Amino acid sequence: MPMPSSTAVRLQIERAVEHRFPAALTPVARTIREVASTGVAEVDALLDGGLPVGAISEFTGPESSGRTSLALAFVARRTEDQMCAWVDVADAFDPQSAAANGVVLRHLLWVRCRSADRQAKAKPWSRLDQALRATDLLLQAGGFAAIVLDLANTAPEHACKIPLASWFRFRQAADSSRCCLIVLGKADYAQSSAALVLECAPVRAETAGGTLLRGFEFNVQRGQERFTHFSTGRRKPPASTWLAGAAWKSDRRA
C-alpha cells in the first residue's frame, strides 16, 4: 500500500483540528509593515518609506558619521504632533542643536543619566544601567512615538555587555506600544532583536568659497533588516548619501 503524500497528511491533520485551530498548518500571509519617515528624503528612499514602527532600529558608526543628525531629523518629524524621549547616557545631548534641527522641545522628554559619584567615569556601567532602566520604564508606560537610547559615547566593550534578555524585552515592549526605539552606537548591540541596522559614515564637508561651511555629506547603508515591509520585488539600493546643513550643530558630535 503506497504511503500518503505530505500534502494528504497535512489535509488530514487540518481536518482533524479545524474546529479548534482553523488552517493550523497554513503559513501566515505576509503583511506590509508600518513605517515612519526619517525626515531625510534620501534615507526614506533607501528604506522605501522610513523606519519600522514598533521595532528597534540601530544607527551605527564612528563619531561624526551622521547617526545623531539622522536621529534628530527623525525625532523632529515625530515631535510635530507626538511625544518622544531621548535617553542620554553620557549627558551629551544639546537642546539648542536639537531645536535647530526642528525638534519641538516641549514634546521631548530628556532623560539625563548622571551620577553623584565623582568616580563615575571609572564606573561606566552605572550610567548605562540608569539608561536601560529608564528606557524600560518609558517603553512599558507607552505614549511615546519614538525613544532614542543614545549609546553613541559608550565604549563598545561596555555596551556589548547589555543582556540579550534586555533587548528582547525592549523589542516586545516597542511592538506592544507601537514605539520606534532608536539605538545610537559605535556598533550594533541589539543583534537579532533589531529590526533594522543603518551603518553611517562621513563622506566630506561641503564648503562655499573655501571658507564658508555649507554642510556635511554622510553615507548610510542598510546593514541588517529583520522585517520586509516591501510589496514589490525590485532590487533595493545598497546605500544612499545625504547632506546635513551647517546650521545643524549636532553634526559635530553626530
Q: For residue 69, what are the contacts with CB-CB under 8 A and spacing of at least 6? A: 101, 216, 218, 244, 248, 250, 251, 254
Q: Are residues 19 and 66 in the same domain?
A: no
Q: Let me know whether 14 and 77 are in one domain.
A: no
The dihedral over CA atoms of 142, 110, 160, 123, expressed in degrees to the nearest 10, equals -130
For the question of whether the overall pTM of this predicted structure is more than 0.95, the answer is no
Report how far residue 193's alpha carbon sits from residue 167's, in angstroms, rounded to the nearest whole number: 6
For the chain, what is the mean pLDDT?
A: 81
Are residues 127 and 26 both part of a single domain? no
Per the rule left: phi > 0, alpha: psi between -120 and 50, beta: everything else, 39 is left
Residue 9 shares a structural domain with residue 47: no
Mean pLDDT of 226-240: 48
Specify whether 7 is located in the same domain as 35.
no
What are the cell numbers at 183? 539605538
- Residues 144, 60 share a domain: yes
62 & 3 share domain: no
Q: How many domains does the chain have?
A: 2
Task: For 129-164, write each residue's pLDDT tens digit.
Answer: 999 999 999 999 999 999 999 999 999 999 999 999
Domain check: are 23 and 100 in the same one? no
- pLDDT band of 19, cuts 50, 70, 90: low
Please check the confidence at residue 16 and state whether its pLDDT lies above 80.
Answer: no
Please, where are the H alpha helices in 101-243?
124-141, 156-159, 164-177
Asked if 75 and 84 count as a contact pair (C-beta separation under 8 A), the reply is yes
- Percent of the chain residues topping a pLDDT of 70: 68
Q: Are 85 and 79 in contact (CB under 8 A)?
A: no
Phi, psi values for residue 58, rounded to 5° = -110, 130
Residue range 167-186: mean pLDDT, rounded = 96
Same domain, yes or no, for 61 and 24? no
Structural domain for 113, as ranges: 31-253
Is residue 78 a contact partner of residue 84, using CB atoms and an 8 Å limit?
yes
Which DSSP string corresponds to 96-118? HHHHHTT--GGGEEEEE---S-T
